[in-house]
Amino acid sequence: MFLAKVEGSVVATKKDASMNGRKLLLLRPQLVDDKDPSRFRPGVNTLVAVDSVGAGIGEMVLFCQGSSARLAPSLKDAPVDAVIIGIVDVVDVLGKPIYNAKQ
């Protein structure tokens, strides 16, 4: 599992039939900064993930990739490589909060 910030949405009117009705979101992975573990640094890549939990732009989410992504409900036969499986409330690193959704 990985952490990411939702940066946008993706709309594809023509797609595999198994993807119809699925919300696609653009994610930027978030990494704990190795020089300052009290903050995140954004990853250099972005990826598209299927939203299975109702996430929105600006939220921190938990996602998984690869074969684990297809274990999410109703995605077993879908051509999916990344799926959002949670909306993050709090992240603590070394006993200190570095992210809180309510702040």
pLDDT attached to residue 48: 98
Q: What is residue 90's predicted lDDT score, i.e. its pLDDT?
A: 97
Residue 82 has a pLDDT of: 96
CATH of the domain at 64: 2.40.50.220
* Amino acid 1: pLDDT: 95
Q: What is the pLDDT of residues 17-33, one digit of tens each?
A: 989 999 999 999 999 99
Look at residue 96 in the predicted model and tell me its pLDDT: 93
Q: How many of the other CB atoms lie within 10 Å of CB of 80?
A: 22
Residue 86: the pLDDT is 97
Rounded Cα–Cα distance for residues 77 and 44 (Å) = 30
Tell me if 18 sits within 8 A of 76, measured CB to CB: no
How do residues 50-86 score in pLDDT, each as one tens digit? 999 999 999 999 999 988 888 887 888 889 999 999 9
- CA gap 48, 28 in Å, rounded: 9
> Residue 76 belongs to what domain range?
2-100
